[in-house]
A and B are shown apart, each in its own frame.
Chain A
Amino acid sequence: MSTSYWRMLLRDKVATVAAVILCVVLLVAVFGPMLIGGEANAQDLTKGNRAPLELDGWLYVLGTDSLGRSILARIIVATRTTLGVAIPAVLISLVIGSVIGMWAGYHRGWRETVVMRIADVILSFPSLLMAVVVLYVYSPSPTNIVIVLAITRIPIYLRTARAESAELQSRVFVDAARTFGAGSFSIIRRHVFPIVLPTLLTVATLDFCYVMLAESSLSFLGIGIQAPDVSWGLMVAQGQNYLQTAWWLSFFPGLAIVIATVSATVLAAWVRLATDPAQRWRLTVPRRQRRRAVPTVAPTAMEEAQ
């Protein structure tokens, strides 16, 4: 099973590249700060705002900021902060949303109604406004940002898990398990969860993009990660004031965000095809022909990511 997934991934060049990029980003987040940590805060005013490649040494390939700190080193350190917010936020919303969603969908009735109403309430209010108010009242620490982002993203998994499990609970194999006297918890765990999981993982991969962008926006607006900590969005904000003279301060951190989010989007599209038995065959045809063969891909995940 897993070897066939590997082979399928390797056959799709674009998806492979995306997966490799995400792995590199993850490795940089884990080991980068250890190897380079000090350089990100090493100020040297004689080297302030130097353009990329102006100074010798690999540390300065992306230039320096106004205090003479290496942009490359700061991007590497920021990788950890950015992922350190995005990954926990995605995991928390994934776990809470899926568990409650599957439970509500399995039982139907009032549980379903209450859960879906809550999801509607959260979704019908701009997530950024909620974050703005909460982070204004409580201080914007990384923990608070993770909690706010997780809460705003829970409805996505609630809806997905609810819809799938509501459909599954009427199937014959679930009925059979019920007849044998299995409890609702074990039916959800053994029969519903394995089938819903691929869809949830696809949504989570795509949502990773959204959460990263949301954290960057908050940091950019000054209510996310606070200096002296550094995140990609915050770096773009700090560079904004030097746009006239030093474009690289904002350009490269933003580029880092784009590279990571595009990779996640590409990989999510691949996961969606690979985990769907009815669509998997498409991965065996070359990329160019694939779109022609997919007439009606409803962009449900895209819509919900909004």
Chain B
Amino acid sequence: MVTFLRRRALTSLLPLVVVLLGVFFLARLTGDPASLYLPENATEAQKETFREVNGLDLPVWRQLVDYLQGIVHLDFGTSLSTGESAAAMALRAFPATLQLAITTMVLAVLLAVVIGSWAAYRPNSLADRFASFLSMTAASVPDFWLAIMGVWVFAVMLGVLPTSGVDAGLLSWVLPIATLLLRPVGVLTQVVRGAMVAALSAPYVRLARSKGADSRRVVAHHALRNAAAPALTVAGDLAVGLVNGAVVVESIFGWPGIGKLMIDSITGRDFAILQAAVLLTAVTIFLLNIAIDICYALLDARVRDKAMV
């Protein structure tokens, strides 16, 4: 188990390292990082002091060492607009995104399990049609357009939901969550459906049926447990996709999370904040992938046994 986890952690560590180095070298490849960090109308003298203060006149390897040390100490520089530490701003915005993401994933899994199992249990039924409609919509409707149309219908025309912000309590959660839900539910439903169709025709389900287990118990107890593993592998990819969605949704609904922080830092040309937000997201995804691996190992006896060796 420990060997398995160590190997998996090393595999997921590679992308994280690539991201860390990627951000560093991208900022240097443009030629002058000073013009990247400072506002466009900065004078030559300002850039000169900036280079000295931040050690940009040192050799590249020294800069890299400083940069990595800064990351370890959560020091990503300070914001241009507020002068606050970039790491503090990113960490403050983080819980808002996390709330949004966790709620979405929990709802997505619940919905996908219900719709997917139902669709697999009764092929070509209303639920099955709805499942394929969902996955079609998830693959082809732009989330930002759906969000704006949601605002138009429910906030502008009907006036039942707020257009943006987090002040209206639970009501302000409805539209962002609904928009974010679309993609994961569409994909997960298809995965659950496929896995359930395979599981329902497996020998152990037939055995359970022949022993006289009622259909609800067969679906929930025998089939679903085995269908959960494939769904879990997709969950990691979905979480990565959820970051994309969060950037769009947060900037539309003015949700004070990490996605909005990123877009704001781009419009304000505030590279320190963008860097902190991107690296924080990368670390989260790294930890999430490890968590999924642990769940997967615990869930699937074949992986678990192999991991023990």
What residues make up the interface of A, taking CB atoms closer than 8 Å to B? 117, 120-121, 123-129, 132-134, 136-138, 206, 209-210, 213, 216-217, 220-223, 233, 236-237, 239-240, 243-244, 247, 250-251, 254, 257-258, 261-262, 264-265, 291-292, 295-299, 302-303, 305-306
What residues make up the interface of B, taking CB atoms closer than 8 Å to A? 11-12, 14-15, 18-19, 22-23, 26-27, 29-30, 36, 123-124, 128, 132, 135-136, 139-145, 148-149, 151-152, 156, 183, 187, 190-191, 194, 197-198, 201, 234, 237-238, 240-241, 243-244, 247-248, 251-252, 262-263, 266-267, 271, 274, 278, 281-282, 285, 289
Instruction: Please judge, given known A-B contacts A243-B151, A258-B145, A291-B128, whether A299 and B237 are in contact too, CB under 8 Å.
Output: no
Instruction: Please judge, given known A-B contacts A209-B139, A262-B136, A296-B194, whether A129 and B278 are in contact too, CB under 8 Å.
Output: yes
List of B residues within 8 angstroms of A233 by Cβ: 142, 144
Task: Give min CB distance, A31 to chain B, whole Å.
Answer: 25
A254 near B145 with CB under 8 A, answer yes
A124 near B142 with CB under 8 A, answer no
A221 near B248 with CB under 8 A, answer yes
Instruction: Please judge, given known A-B contacts A222-B263, A250-B145, whether A299 and B194 are in contact too, CB under 8 Å.
Output: yes
Main secondary structure of the interface of B (DSSP, over half): helix
B139 near A261 with CB under 8 A, answer yes
A-B contact count (CB 8 A): 162
A sample of 20 more A-B contacts (CB under 8 A), given A129-B247, A236-B144, is: A117-B14, A120-B14, A124-B15, A128-B248, A134-B26, A220-B142, A222-B266, A233-B142, A236-B142, A243-B151, A251-B149, A254-B148, A257-B142, A258-B141, A261-B141, A265-B139, A296-B198, A302-B187, A303-B187, A303-B234
How far is it, in angstroms, between the C-alpha of A286 and the C-alpha of B110 when the chains are bound? 33
A-B pairs with beta carbons under 8 Å apart, 28 shown: A120-B11, A120-B14, A121-B15, A121-B18, A125-B15, A126-B240, A128-B243, A129-B243, A129-B247, A129-B278, A132-B266, A133-B26, A137-B26, A137-B30, A220-B248, A221-B248, A222-B263, A223-B266, A250-B152, A251-B149, A258-B145, A261-B139, A261-B141, A265-B139, A296-B198, A303-B234, A306-B187, A306-B241
How far is it, in angstroms, between the C-alpha of A292 and the C-alpha of B145 when the chains are bound? 33
Instruction: Please judge, given known A-B contacts A132-B266, A222-B263, A291-B124, whether A126 and B140 are in contact too, CB under 8 Å.
Output: no
B140 near A262 with CB under 8 A, answer yes
B183 near A306 with CB under 8 A, answer yes
A126 near B244 with CB under 8 A, answer yes
Partner of B190, one of A117, A129, A221, A299: A299
CB nearest neighbor in A for B244: A128
